[in-house]
Chains A and B, each alone.
Chain A
């Protein structure tokens, strides 16, 4: 049945490509989502337990069927255990990314990864001071040790305000080691271990903190050291960045360890020459998802789109290679790439895909492998079928790269102007809007409308991940977008020449938001939970987002989720997350699929916080 593409996405480039896909009979995530309907209610409610082989067990949400699993687990226990396993998976994904970056940093420090260099020496020195070590190798070892630590503390957690750290200690959720907390979740959720939903959830918060203030922050900081701390720069976003007369390479996934090398390889004169010999006018590399964010903010590499556009990019017929590493890469790409000349190239030993060509990437030989990959793409240009090429002529200018350091620079070297604007009310508060795409929400609708509503009400927005890319496409990451903001925020943005929505990077870079929140709280002499700030993930879908939500709330930030998490099968767990947590960590979750209502929840919260602060 033909679907109205306008119901599926608000992004005109995506609508155009969805139309192309429909006419060509190509299946996308939206079609597969439709075919999954109805989705299982037990799964939606979190009431299915598969943790042991007496099961699977399900609890009847209406109370007529079974109320306990074979072991006696109630809905509270099952829902809490399932939630914890999601947090563990999300924290593991971010932290394993952090581990890979730390490992590369260590190899580089030992002289074993000649493709990598220290780019931000000042940050390296700051980190050495923070870790109280004398050498780069000692720093590498100290950071690597965070993953296997048994007794804590994780150094970066101490960047949080002292009050917050004290609270974590009091609650017993100050993380002891990154890997330890994830392993402990797997242990506790094993049959017959932790069966107290409050105790379970506290462990979930501890593991999530080891992600946000541990694994993710390590990834961000060491990526900055190796590839440079982002500074504001301009680029373009959306499928229109693909070029009809050039070799198009899309880098998709999360770790800049690969994408940095691909970007470097594309300027290799021999490869550029080869591209010309093959009939192209050059090599065009474009990002997708978070690795796209990484090279977007460090090298102005244009970005082709966010999560739900990965298939649409291939369907342009103009992509010579889709090069992927880890996370958020749809296995559907293999079959889809098979309909075109596109080479789907996997690179990580951890992530192989059906229909992909595997060209394994190792830190020791990074640039050589990157050149081999780029060469394969260049040689594939001749195979492009011009009759199948359809590139939407849609792209939007964006200003990106607001690391904490860059924000402080933009403010003139100190946070004071921002604090002043917050106190005066010109900036009502700060909204952190992050997260994925999810076909449960009209693509980009939640992101764009929530952000627009916030800035209209003078809330300065900081963004990462797929929300950042949705904002980029919608033109919200330009200084001119200040015209869409309320008068107060508009004045501040115009004075500083910045957009009302600040692009802070990839999903691991939510750690930058934590650092910024801590710095603002410290400057005001309060805890993060006292700030006029709120978070949101309007279109979240991944387990990483569950971990992010948990660490943002445990850091003290009220967070609104746009899609319903699978916890509603237990009133006790749902109540704890949406109100009880406030008395424990000073913040809680709310669930609100309507972006306008979600904005209102955030603004009301910000106003209450302002009142409490007496500003």
Chain B
């Protein structure tokens, strides 16, 4: 035994749901953009706080601090990656991935590599975890910025 049910007139609702998903994605992207900006600023503050010393090779078994040139190479280089969208999910990352190369004391060095060496340290350079510190300090403010922007956006569209 079977019963067949048919509902008609779903086109309007379907269009409405599609529009809603598009708006939700736009709102999420706008929120993420603002949140990522907040996070990038916090990390940039960390870059400004990096302690340096004029470059000299570490003595055998010794350590050296990052040089002013290394700090300068990563200053202003924090960026937000291209957004990855999947339905209402939007992802990005904040970091030095797209920062390219910089001249450090006459040598071309990958900015991300210089940033990583300062943040994580090496066997001959003391670590200064500016990135983790900035990301931790900025997490709450970034989250607040994301929520505020999404709510504003949804308010504007009367979707709340």
Q: Decide whether A and B assemble into one complex.
A: no
Interface residues, chain B, CB within 8 Å of chain A?
A: none
Interface residues, chain A, CB within 8 Å of chain B?
A: none
